């Protein structure tokens, strides 16, 4: 599903943030990406989400090399992944329904299909009935679940999460992780960047550990 082959990323003013990173995330596999701040977690996510391009090496998603992908193709590649953020990145002036529907609207789905899928996604994250609420009126955990519903509504084969539980207490974090496991069980590949060691240790999943830009475990 996702393959890093000798990937390095160098910034002119910061030097090498990633150095010869190799790993392969299988379809339906769940893995944690961990390491100290500045170890390169975000850079890896940025490379996958095509916000940055690798300086050397190849990032392959579904067999396609993201380094050579054309600018015009980026939106279509991004539809193959659901992104989840620490700060949720929800549109505050739109309802929960509209937030979750956004990827479907962008992909050009019809009205009925959108309605059906959004409700299915909200049902999965336990927010059915809150479609008409605005994000501001929801708790942090609920907002993150809206973010997750938005990430999975288009049924992408892969989910990327950047510190998804960073703003949540341990109980809520555990709930969110259980949610991720449910998605994994239906064949979605999941990569979660986090520095929450206790959370990682409680769960039995692959751990990719970064140290100063190099993969030391994984």
Residues that bind another protein (CB under 8 A): 49, 51, 72, 75-76, 78-79, 83, 89-91, 102-111, 113-114, 116, 119-120, 123, 128-129, 150, 154-155
Between CA 212 and CA 36 the distance in angstroms is 8
Shortest Cβ 89–another protein spacing (Å): 5
CA-based nearest residue to 21, from 46, 42, 48, 3: 3
Shortest Cβ 9–another protein spacing (Å): 15
Comparison of 83 and 138: residue with beta carbon closer to another protein: 83
Q: Is 26 left (phi over 0), alpha (psi -120 to 50) or beta?
A: beta
SS3 at position 50: coil
CA-based nearest residue to 58, from 18, 27, 105, 104: 18
Comparison of 50 and 215: residue with beta carbon closer to another protein: 50
Comparison of 105 and 216: residue with beta carbon closer to another protein: 105
Shortest Cβ 134–another protein spacing (Å): 14
Between CA 133 and CA 136 the distance in angstroms is 8
Comparison of 23 and 85: residue with beta carbon closer to another protein: 85
Shortest Cβ 102–another protein spacing (Å): 6
Token pair of 25, please? 């995330």
Shortest Cβ 119–another protein spacing (Å): 6
Q: What is the largest CA-CA distance in the chain?
A: 50
Q: CB-based contacts of 118: which residues, under 8 Å, 6+ apart?
A: 97, 100, 101, 104, 131, 149, 153
Comparison of 144 and 154: residue with beta carbon closer to another protein: 154
């Amino acid at each position: 599903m996702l393959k890093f082959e000798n990937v390095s990323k160098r910034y002119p003013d910061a030097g090498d943030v990633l150095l010869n990173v190799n790993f392969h995330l299988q379809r339906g596999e769940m893995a944690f990406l961990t390491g100290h701040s500045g170890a390169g977690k975000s850079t890896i996510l940025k490379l996958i989400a095509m916000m940055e391009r690798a300086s050397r090496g190849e990032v392959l998603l579904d067999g396609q090399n993201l380094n050579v992908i054309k600018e015009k193709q980026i939106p279509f590649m991004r539809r193959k992944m659901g992104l989840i953020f620490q700060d949720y990145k929800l549109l505050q002036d739109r309802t929960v329904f509209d937030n979750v529907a956004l990827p479907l609207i962008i992909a050009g789905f019809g009205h009925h299909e959108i309605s059906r899928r959004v409700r299915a996604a909200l049902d999965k994250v336990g927010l059915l009935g809150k479609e008409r609420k605005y994000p501001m009126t929801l708790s942090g955990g609920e907002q993150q679940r809206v973010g997750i519903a938005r990430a999975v509504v288009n049924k992408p084969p892969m989910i990327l999460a950047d510190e998804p539980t960073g703003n949540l207490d341990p109980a809520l974090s555990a709930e969110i992780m259980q949610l991720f496991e449910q998605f994994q069980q239906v064949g979605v590949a999941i990569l979660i960047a986090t520095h929450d060691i206790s959370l990682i240790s409680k769960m039995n999943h692959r751990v990719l550990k970064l140290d100063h830009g190099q993969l030391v475990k994984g």
